[in-house]
Amino acid sequence: MPETTTAPQPLTVLSEEEQMFRQAVEDFARNEVLPHVSAMDEAAKFRPEIVQRFFEMGLMGIEVPETLGGAGGSIFMAVLAIEELARVDASAAIYVDVHNTLVNNALLRWGSDEQKTRYFPRMTTDLLGAFALSEPGSGSDAFALATRAEHKGDHWELTGRKFWITNGDEAGIFIIFANAHPAKGYKGITAFLVERGFEGFSVGKKENKLGIRASSTTELILEQCKVPNRNVMGPVGMGYKISIETLNEGRIGIGAQMIGVARGALEAAIAYTKERKQFGKSIVEFQGVQFQMAQMATTLEAARLMVYNAARLKDAGLPFAQEAAMAKLFSSQAADRITSLSLELFGGYGYSKEYPAEKYYRDAKIGTIYEGTSNMQLQTIAKALLK
């Protein structure tokens, strides 16, 4: 990210508290994350001390009530944090995103009072979470999962494998979905709170990815993993509803990540085109370059407003599932396009790791895939329109 911000600032009106919060995250991202971004990407390893700083800054319990150790904030505040982090590093953003919009969100809505009291004081201070739904044969068809849960009196035994689990390498608590009554189909799916140290639980292969390389994406192996009865989250057989409703909020978080990535790429392109000279002048002086940037900025602002709107609706207690799907769809497409144009404006240097354009381009691609592919978002939107 360039030293001087040159891209348009968000036009949405923010409260004084929101402005101060966003500025604090921006300063943190620039001063404490940015210096390590290239090395973490190259090593495919996130620095654990930065994760701890997320906790220290209160970024890992944004919506959690203060009585449980959180900040008592809103999903909109989480969006601001995710966007500012992604502007510097999409991997940093996804640690905060998954922990807040998936793990904390699910426990807040579906956990018992005892579970919240037991876990949130640590989940807001040092215990990273992960959300484990996907399997080798269960991606967009999330309810085809093969992991089984068998009741054994005072505990449950989970058997199966989970794939593509974000935060899997570092998380200490996992929300894992398994089918307790396969004969009932998706109505047998149940959510479990699984601690890393539970018997029969292990972390498998870590994926070597194209983008968000510093973020860990792993396999989870469950071999008759013993889970106490008190760690069933929500009613048995209600896992399908928990997963769907949790992912609705999660899509707002991915939208925030994508507008952050797009914004970082646009800023980098503006700074570079001011410095790069061809035919006796900076290339930013050419109208063709200016028009491309104007289109990028317009697309970015449209995506941002869609994400912000979905977050505001959720905070207001209004229906937001369709708007979240639209925001996730459009912002991921926008990031894909904007990062591609940014790379092209760098010319040959855009293809080199010496400049940030290629990383923004790689990081953007995942937005159209995880937490619901673009086709799944279109299906959600179409169903809402035809209802």
Q: How confident is the model over 263-284, as pLDDT tens digits?
A: 999 999 999 999 999 999 999 9
Task: Name the residues annotated as catalytic.
Answer: 371
5 has pLDDT over 50: no
**pLDDT band at residue 11 under the 50/70/90 scheme:** low
Residue with tokens 């449209």: 302
pTM (two decimals): 0.95
pLDDT 10s digits, 27-76: 999 999 999 999 999 999 999 999 999 999 999 999 999 999 999 999 99
Of the candidate ranges 3-12, 119-128, 290-299, the one whose mean pLDDT is the lowest: 3-12
304 has pLDDT over 70: yes
DSSP 207-260: P--SSSTTS-EEEEEEEEEEEEGGGEESSTT-HHHHHHHHHHHHHHHHHHHHHH
Residue 160, classed as helix, strand or coil, is: strand
Q: What pLDDT is attached to residue 171? A: 98
Q: What pLDDT is attached to residue 146? A: 95
The residue among 139, 92, 135, 115 whose CA lies nearest residue 221 is 135
Dig out the tokens for 375 from the structure: 């086709």
Cα–Cα distance for residue pair 100/142, rounded to 1 Å: 21
The CA R_g of the chain, rounded to the nearest whole Å, is 21
Dig out the tokens for 87 from the structure: 């502007």
Mean pLDDT of 153-161: 98
Measured at the CA of 146, the angle between CA 144 and CA 151, to 5 degrees, comes to: 120
Residue 272, classed as helix, strand or coil, is: helix
Contact indicator for 175, 247 with CB cutoff of 8 Å? no
Q: Which domains does the chain have, with CATH numbers?
A: 16-123 (1.10.540.10), 129-237 (2.40.110.10), 241-386 (1.20.140.10)
Mean pLDDT of 166-186: 97
68 Cβ neighbours under 8 A, 6+ residues apart: 61, 116, 117, 120, 121, 124
Mean pLDDT of 11-29: 91
Mean of per-residue pLDDT scores for the chain: 95
The residue among 237, 310, 249, 308 whose CA lies nearest residue 105 is 249
pLDDT 10s digits, 193-251: 999 999 999 999 999 999 999 999 999 999 999 999 999 999 999 999 999 999 999 99
**pLDDT band at residue 1 under the 50/70/90 scheme:** very low
pLDDT 10s digits, 325-365: 999 999 999 999 999 999 999 999 999 999 999 999 999 99
- Residue 349: what are its φ and ψ, rounded to 5°? -65, -25
pLDDT 10s digits, 86-145: 999 999 999 999 999 999 999 999 999 999 999 999 999 999 999 999 999 998 887 789
Q: Which element (helix H / strand E) includes 205? A: strand 201-206
